[in-house]
Structure 1
Amino acid sequence: MRSQTAAEDAEHDPLDLFEDALLSIFDERMPAAGDPGQRITFAHPALPTPQSTISYHIPDVHAKSTHLFAHHQWDSGVLLARMIASSSSAAQPAADEDHDLVYPAADVRDETVVELGAGTGLPGLVSGLMGAKMVLITDYDDPPLIDTIKMNAKAVCAGRTGVRGQGLTWGIAGHVERALSEAGPSRFSRVLAADTLWVSSAHGVLLETMKDLLGRSAEARILMLAGFHTGRPAIARFFQLAAGEIDLGDGHDSRGNRIGDGALVPDWEDQNYGGIWERRIDGQTRPWQGVRPKAWSRQHAEPAARAEKNEHTVEDEEMGDIGERAKWI
């Protein structure tokens, strides 16, 4: 046995191979846009900017940080930004497809907002433009990545002093405390996350970070979107973890708390889908098709076939055709 040299690591980095595979597999479309360092645009009729458009940069991250996949603009981030813009406007959405994106919890006006795993920070930037009281855009504490977020915040939200970028590595107590100091004693009333679930091993620290940051009021919400390009099972596993149905084998979570204590629940006030739904890039929507934690099904009756599916493990779930999955969030 021997250790690889740095040159060998760079040449055979499995993360690079994974990204190359993503680019080649999605022959119909890639669920992301842009290249490292590229300046791209986002437009929405509700944006209070010239031509209702903003331009911002994709992080030109170091090679060692490409495993974060912050060097693209992923579809989930764009959809979350559209939801926020559509829901936070006093005017009626101009297009039918934008009307479908109006969701009360996505109205960020006068809210304190934190975005996790932000990458470009697009949802946070749009939150700042649409009237959020304070926005903290965060990602892994990598200087080039955070510098780009800060640059985007300064350029897009010029004159809005409440929009800032900051390094926040999930599970690091000092980072969480630093973020909380920005929000004040009430914590954050909105926690945003787009495409942060593809690494299952990080689910625990992500969930703990979300719980630490989320305000304790009944109106506080987490808005989380995730593309299916890496499969539905990883998302379903996070749901089970958030519902308190997954433990470390002794009935406790990674902090020693009893499973179920402080568990998150879906937005029961959502009359259409009970807080969890799927959306295709062409605007089709449908109820969540995957494993739904039993604790999340008590207030919303489900078809017998769906209830029976809950008896299966997440790992057993059929992931489906990868080309079609890439079109769903």
Structure 2
Amino acid sequence: MALTSRISLQGPPTSEPEDFLSSSLGVIFPDDVTNQHGDAEHSLAYASPHLPRPLHIALSDPDQENDRKLFSHYLWNASLLLAEFIEAGSLRLNLDVNRGELEASNFDVAGLTCLELGAGTALPSLMAALLGATDVVVTDYPSETVLATLRKNVAANAKLEHSPRHTLAPTIVNGHSWGELTTPFATAHQARFDRVFVCDCLWMPWQHTNLHRSIAWFLKFKSASSSARAWVVAGFHTGRAKMRGFFEPTALVEAGLEVEALWERDCDGVERDWVWDRGQEDVSERKRWLVVGVLRRRAERVEG
């Protein structure tokens, strides 16, 4: 089943000429994939056969230019993919993910504390809250427009009747600017989370270092009982050159992180190895693909 098949627009019929053109692109160009979903006039319904009822996802209507530049007023395919992984891992569904030691079951959130950075619509966080996580914190840039939409989505969907397990994790929303680690929120939550979700946050190369810092700050420290991981998913729509530096080994080492698994997956579930450079990539083709990364804290060196 195609990644985007779970999403449908909710709201008034489209009337703008550009909307008609957009909706017809799949007929004109059958290989073209929509990688951003929704607008201020239309909410989204996320329907999974494994959830008792659809989730209803509101989108923000940013009135400030700085808020619009965040692009958090869309649901992106990276969030759809991580939501599907969390569902498959937590419910032990058959999902073809096999990268060495990594399988679908590795995305089980049962009994874990979870944090989302740059959440946008919070779909992966909502799935975690409904599928057995013990505690979920949803964050995005501290813009009241963005945070109000996140609170609306949590209030509408973080309900027992939406959970196939009849469980619900406490879920809160808070502002967080990547790399700002002296705020009351950051100091109160240092090293608290088993899982950190990062979806489509890699298109700003100038923020990679700050994002590394936040991931490392919030992940639990390594211990015999801790296997903390960050799940990072991002599309290639802005170009591989802009986002690949996030996975540069030296930069990760400086933050105390390392890659456990890294691969590419398209909207139909086809997987391939991650590569640093694929040469000239067609725009329509690269929109179909996402990178999936699993990060962990670096192994402690043992001095002998």
Instruction: Name the TM-score class by shorter chain.
Output: 0.7 to 0.9
Task: Indicate conservation of the 8 Å contact 2:88/2:105, yes or no.
Answer: no
For residue 323 of structure 1, report the CA deviation from its aligned partner.
Answer: 1.0
Q: Which has the higher helix share?
A: 1
What CA deviation, in whole Å up to 9, does each residue of 1:117-166 have, x standing for no partner?
A: 11001111111011111111110000011011011111111364611111
- Normalising by structure 1, report the TM-score: 0.69
CA–CA separation in structure 2 for the residues paired with 1:29 and 1:221: 30
CA–CA separation in structure 1 for the residues paired with 2:266 and 2:254: 34
- Normalising by structure 2, report the TM-score: 0.75
Change (3 A) 1:236 1:133: same
The structure whose RCO (Cα within 8 Å, separation 6+) is larger is 2
Change (3 A) 1:280 1:261: closer
Q: 1:228 aligns with which of 215, 220, 236?
A: 236
1:6 corresponds in structure 2 to: none
CA–CA separation in structure 2 for the residues paired with 1:230 and 1:107: 30
1:311 corresponds in structure 2 to: none
1:75 corresponds in structure 2 to: 77
CA–CA separation in structure 1 for the residues paired with 2:204 and 2:255: 23
Task: Indicate conservation of the 8 Å contact 1:180/1:187, yes or no.
Answer: no
CA–CA separation in structure 1 for the residues paired with 2:203 and 2:212: 14
2:58 corresponds in structure 1 to: 57
Q: 2:205 aligns with which of 186, 191, 200?
A: 200
2:88 corresponds in structure 1 to: 86
Q: Which has the higher strand share?
A: 2
Q: Could you say what secondary structure the match of 1:59 adopts? A: coil
Q: Could you say what secondary structure the match of 2:257 adopts? A: coil
The one-letter code of the counterpart of 1:78 is L
1:272 corresponds in structure 2 to: none
For residue 39 of structure 1, report the CA deviation from its aligned partner.
Answer: 1.7
What CA deviation, in whole Å up to 9, does each residue of 1:306-328 have, x standing for no partner?
A: xxxxxxxxxxx624111100000
Structure showing greater radius of gyration is 1
The percentage of counterpart residues that share the same residue type is 30
What CA deviation, in whole Å up to 9, does each residue of 1:173-199 have, x standing for no partner?
A: 244x41452x5x751110001000001
The one-letter code of the counterpart of 1:263 is G
Matched, 1:265 2:251: no
2:185 corresponds in structure 1 to: 178
**5+ long unaligned stretches in structure 1:** 1-22, 246-258, 268-274, 292-316
For residue 63 of structure 1, report the CA deviation from its aligned partner.
Answer: 3.3
Q: Could you say what secondary structure the match of 1:109 adopts? A: coil
Q: How does 1:164-175 map to 2 (within 5 A)?
A: 164-175=172-183
